[in-house]
Amino acid sequence: MSSRIVCSHCGQDWIEKYRVKESGEVFWACPDCESLWLESQKKEEETDLYISEFLESRGITWPSVEKVD
């Protein structure tokens, strides 16, 4: 059985784990709708965050982030 979590916002994709290379901050995001969860948030519940807002708030762009397997 997979432990992957279906996006609770759109239900269209699995959420994936990512890390900000510089700070090491970890977050989860849905590739389909770009919803984003911080590590401290419950991934099974809706989120107000979006990837673009998160990146902007950290002053970084997508290449500053790497996927965590």
Task: List residues binding Zn ion (CB under 5 A).
Answer: 7, 9-10, 30, 32-33, 35
Q: Which lies closer to Zn ion via its Cβ, residue 21 or residue 67?
A: 67
Cβ of residue 13: shortest distance to Zn ion, in angstroms?
Answer: 5
Q: Which lies closer to Zn ion via its Cβ, residue 7 or residue 65?
A: 7
Cβ of residue 30: shortest distance to Zn ion, in angstroms?
Answer: 3
Render the burial of 7-30: b for 16+ CB within 10 Å, e for the rest. Answer: bbbeeebebbbbbbeeeeeebbbb
35-38 β-sheet, strand order:
49-50, 35-38, 26-29, 16-20, 65-68
Q: Which lies closer to Zn ion via its Cβ, residue 6 or residue 60?
A: 6
